[in-house]
Each structure stands twice: as C-alpha cells, then as structure tokens.
Structure 1
Amino acid sequence: MERTIRIVIADDHPVVRIGVRNMLADANGFDVAGEAGDGDEAITQTLELQPDILLLDLLMPRLPGLEAMRAIMSGSPTVKILLLTSTITTQQIIEALHIGARGIVLKDSLVQDLHTSIRTVVSGDYWIGGKRVANLVTALHELMQKAEVQPRKTYGLTPREMEVVGAIVEGCTNRDIARSFGLSEETVKRHLSNIFDKTGVSTRLELALFAIAHQLVAATQ
C-alpha cells in the first residue's frame, strides 16, 4: 500500500482551507496534519509537524509566502512546498523555484490539479505550468525566455568564471569544462570554489538555479 502523504495547508482564507481539505479527504492517501492562516503560523506548523507537503498561499498576512518559504527551507529543507496562488508572474515563479518551491498550483485549477501536483512533487518531480516537470534547469530556461529582460549582474565573477557557470548550467562535468577551455580539472575545481564563494551556493544544482534566476546566463543558452 502507498504511504499516506501528510500535508499542511497554509492560506489566510478559511473557505480555501476548507475547500482544499475537503478535496484531499475525497481521495485516498492524503492526511491534513495541520493548517495555518498566516506566514508565521505556516512556519510554526511546518517545523513542528514536519509534513511531506506544505500547500502555501503566495499572498499571506504577517509574512508573505516567499519569505515564509525562505524560513521554512532553512529550518526544514525536506518538506516539499507547493505554492497556491490566483495569479503569479514569471519572475515570481523563477524566484520561488530558486528558493526551493517544488511547484505552483493556480487556485482556478485546484480541482483538476491538486491531487496530481501533490503526488508529482512527492515522487521527486516539479509541477510547473499545470504539468509534471522532471528537468528543473530546462524548465527555468523556458521561463526565462518569457520573463522581462533585466540588466545582468556578474556578482564579481570573472569572464572565465562566467564561462564555467554557463557550462555548469548546460550540465557539463569538470572534465568536460577542462577539455572545452583547455584547463586542468584542478583549475576547474578552483574556479568552482571561487564561484561558490561569490554566489553563496554550495552545489552545482544550486549554482545552475542561481545562474538562471539571476540571469548570469542567457535564457537561450
């Protein structure tokens, strides 16, 4: 038997919470472990209950959804967060995914998407644009093509480091990068260490997401 998926619902409108709870009760395999009416409560409930899924309203009183998500990801990085919203910009989607959201569900699509989106993110994939997404970097590239172009920042990265960042976004290994630029793998590792320090990330995936979210690479790369 499939294990029960434990869920916390965080939305400032009681009617929305009741509606979501009822939709989950109508299907097997879901357990609403807690509810929250504002951003602070969402943090408290999530950290105390350690659910599998947090359904988090983007526009919350006391603490907005994105700020609440930052705090939650710092204290409970294993919870998978699905943002609930009536409307959202492409740039907000990119920011949310960069912070750690696993997907976005429009409230107008809750009836048809709620169960599937939850099971999708529990399985390890993402839910973006009303569909399952397995490759987050590719999805972010597509989103960036739709976003308004902002001035690019370099975060103090050298031209060579920017090239290495671009290669990381493309999924290249250290060996691939070394061959492409005529460098030793040790030199590539030093470049990556410097890049991690300057951008504040610690893994290659985090770097790829940071690079796309902050437009260090072209959307069409």
Structure 2
Amino acid sequence: MKEFGKRSTEKAIATPPVRVVVADDHPVVRFGVRNMLESEPGFEIVGEAEDGDVAITETLELEPDVLLLDVQMPRLPGLEAMRAIMDRSPRVKIILLTSTLSLQEIIEALQIGARGIVLKGSVVGDLTDAMRAVVAGDYWIGGERVINLVAALNNLIKQAAVTPERKTYGLTPRELEVVTCIVEGCSNRDIAKQFAISEETVKRHLSNVFDKTGVSTRLELALFAITHKLVSLG
C-alpha cells in the first residue's frame, strides 16, 4: 500500500512536457533544433513551419507552449507573424531565433510580445535555458535570464539612444550576410551551401540587394559595402 501511494504521488506531480512549434525556413535548422530538444527531457516538438503564414496557422491550431520563430521568414517576416499570433493567441510564449538583430529591432520585438531572443550562433548553449526561463514566466535577452522586463527595456532604449545604428539601406539581416559573403569572394554556390538555401534563393537575395543599394554587379556591391561600412573587415 505504501509503494502504491508513492507511485500515485509521483504520477500526480509529473510535469507535462513543454509543447513546441519550430518555425524556420531552413530544414537543416528545424532538424537540428528538433534533435536537440528531443534529446532533452521535458520538451515535445508538436509542429514545424517553413514560412510565416504556416507559423501562424500551426500556432493557432496546435496552441503550443512555446513558438521558436525565425525572424527572417518567407511570405511573412517573423515580426509580422508574431504580431498576428499575439493578437489571436497571446498565451503562447515566442522566442525569436535570429542571426543578427539591431537594438531597435530587439526593442520592437519585446514590445510586440517576444519572451526571448536567441542568436542562432548561440542556440546550442542558450536555447534550452531560454525556453525554461520563458516557460517559468521570465524573459531571455542578451544571453541571460531577465525577470524585470521594464528595466531591461529601459536599458535597451538608453543604449539605442547613445549607440548610432549602422545604416543598412533597408537590407535584411540575411541580405547583409549575403553581402558579407560577396565581399569575401564567395560564389552563389558557396553562399547557398553556407546558409543551407538554394542558389535560386541566393540569386533572389542578390537581386533585392542590388535594387536597394543601386548597384548592378558583384564588384560594385563589394565596393559599396566596404565604402558604406556594411561589413566588418578584419
């Protein structure tokens, strides 16, 4: 009877897994995140999305505890998808996955409703800690757990006021990454392999970059990027 009572108590206090939807346009990223979380106790991947529209649909239908949302998504950017989700399902906790994000974009994301921001380069070290933080009701900003969002936002706003934003000519973080690759002399094939995207997608990014910067060749783009400090040399 005593053993039965112990098992009953353990069953009663068992915590259900954190239900997660992973939204990223790169299958390799989704596969990597899935593998990482499935090897950790307490997480369950219940859905995946390859663009912003599907992210909204999956989140509203599956009602996960956490949505891992790539900022740069096809069809609908991550921040716009987040706005739509927050309007209709404010309970879900959204963690943004990004390669790079300006201070102003971080502030905007938190004001919209993001609970955490994880750099893709830090996913292995930070993601599970970030998820546990937001599930517990806290935030994850700048690689650490944040309890007081108001204080954190005030600090970010002060930093943004004294830190001049780099002029990017409307280029997205992914387009800036492509520009950096061009300056380094990478071919379209090299860029596609580095970011796990198709060469057609690379060409589309380059076409957008040419339109936004007013250049017409890769050499002109490299010179423009160096002159206007779109890339960090060193």
Q: Does 1:137 align with 2:146?
A: no
Q: TM-score, normalised by structure 1?
A: 0.67
Following TM superposition, by how much is the alpha carbon of 1:149 offset from its aligned partner in structure 2, in angstroms? 6.3
TM-score by length of 2: 0.63
Partners of 1:146 and 1:99 in 2: how far apart?
19
* Deviations, residues 18-76 of structure 1 (Å, cap 9, x unaligned): 00000001101100000000000000000000000000000000000000000000111
1:41 aligns with 2:72: no
Instruction: Write the letter of the residue equivalent to 2:133.
Output: T
Task: Tell me which amino acid in the other structure corresponds to 2:136.
Answer: S
Q: Within the alignment, does 1:94 sit opposite 2:78 as a pair?
A: no
Query: In structure 1, what is the Cα distance between the partners aligned to 2:161 and 2:102?
Result: 10
Pairwise CA RMSD of aligned residues? 1.2
Alignment of 1:177-188 (within 5 A): none
Is residue 108 from structure 1 mapped to residue 121 from structure 2 by the alignment? Answer: yes
Residues 44-63 of structure 1 aligned to structure 2 (within 5 Å) = 44-63=57-76
Partner of 1:4: 17
Q: Residue type matched to 1:23 in 2?
A: M
Aligned to 2:38: 25
Percentage identity across aligned positions? 67
Q: Number of residue pairs matched?
A: 150
AA aligned to 2:64 is P
* TM-superposition CA deviations, 1:165-207 (whole Å, max 9, x none): xxxxxxxxxxxxxxxxxxxxxxxxxxxxxxxxxxxxxxxxxxx
Q: Which runs of 5+ in 2 are unaligned?
A: 1-13, 164-234
Q: Distance between the aligned counterparts of 1:115 and 1:145, measured in 2?
A: 29
The match for 1:209 is none
Once residues 107 and 94 of structure 1 are traced to their aligned partners in structure 2, the CA distance between those partners, rounded to angstroms, is 18
Which amino acid is the alignment partner of residue 117 of structure 2? I
Shift of 1:3: 2.0
The list of structure 1 runs, each at least 4 consecutive aligned residues, that deviate by more than 6 angstroms after superposition, is none
In our comparison, the structure showing a higher alpha carbon Rg is: 2
Cα distance in 1, alignment partners of residues 77 and 161 from structure 2 = 23
